[in-house]
Each structure stands twice: as structure tokens, then as C-alpha cells.
Amino acid sequence: MVIRTQPLTADAFAPYGDVLDCAGTPDKMINEGLCGRFHDRAALDFEDGRAGVSLFQAQPRDLPYELTLLERHPQGSQAFIPMSFDPFLVIVAQDLGNKPGEVAAFLTAQGQAINFHKGTWHGVLTPLHAPGLFAVVDRIGDGANLEEFRLEHPVMIERG
């Protein structure tokens, strides 16, 4: 199966999570009017745990990208916040209860970050450019907060 990437928008991504960016007017101007605050833009959720901030240095991938693995975090949300200005690949899938359904792939615009809602099926962090450096905000806690699903048939993701 082949799918094509689509541009990341808040509406298109809404079933899966939040898009964080500085589009439009800031929610508030702070720091003596020298900084726009786009306030509280991600639905963070950490069941029986706490929020953690980690840094990921991930190997860049290429398009077309062969997707063979999806995962989800049943106890917590997970935010990918790039520390570069490069677009990255965001892969999600519908939930069919105990397995993922239809896959969707998004290309971020410069300056966009994402937050997967708790339980959203997703591909692992997938940079397309070096250095692949991201801040990740996700759940720190006990328990199995990682469920993986190996696809029976790989999905090829091509640039839209």
C-alpha cells in the first residue's frame, strides 16, 4: 500500500493530537511586549505518572519511507518539539480497538510541533533532516506505557 504525505494542519490532525505553532495572534504579549505567548496549546495527559522532558537525537529517514511499526502510549500523551527548523514526518493511524486502522502521514511546516493524545497510534519520531534533535514531553512512570503493532504489510509513505 502507498500513501502520500499531507501538510500538517490543526484540523486534519485534530483526531490524533494537537499542532503547536505560532500562527496568528499570540494569546498574550509578555516580557514588556517583546514576546508573544501562544499559551497552553497541548492537551497533556499523564495517567499515574508525571510529565518528563527528554531530548531525542534521531537518525534522519528518507522519503519514500517504509512503515512497518506503529505504537501507542495508553497512559500518556507525547509531544515532539523540534530543536531545528526542519520539517519532519508525522505518522498516525485510526484506532480499531486493539489494532491500528487507516494510516495518515503529515509533513510539518517549519516551526510546527505536535502532541499525540494519549493512546494515539503513531510512528516513532521520524526526522527527515540531520541533526534530528527534538525535545519530547511524555509520561514518566511505572507500567507498560508502550504498545507496539507490527504491520502485516508495510505501508510506503511518499511525498505528497
Ligand X SMILES: NC(=O)N[C@@H](O)C(=O)O
Asked whether position 124 contacts ligand X by CB under 6 A, the answer is yes
Q: Report the residue from 103, 113, 125, 137 that binds ligand X according to the rule CB under 6 A.
A: 125
How many Å apart are CA 87 and CA 85, to the nearest integer? 7
Part of the chain binding ligand X (CB under 6 A), chosen from 12-20, 30-38, 83-91, 120-128: 120-128
* Near ligand X in 63-82, by CB under 6 A: 71, 78
By the 10 Å C-beta count (0-12 exposed, 13-18 middle, 19+ buried), 120 is classed as: buried
SS3 64: coil
Secondary element (H or E) of residue 12: helix 10-13
SS3 13: helix
Asked whether position 10 contacts ligand X by CB under 6 A, the answer is no
# chain residues binding ligand X, by CB under 6 A: 6
- Least separation in angstroms between residue 123's CB and Ni ion is 8
Q: In the complex, which residues of this chain contact Ni ion (CB under 5 A)?
A: 78
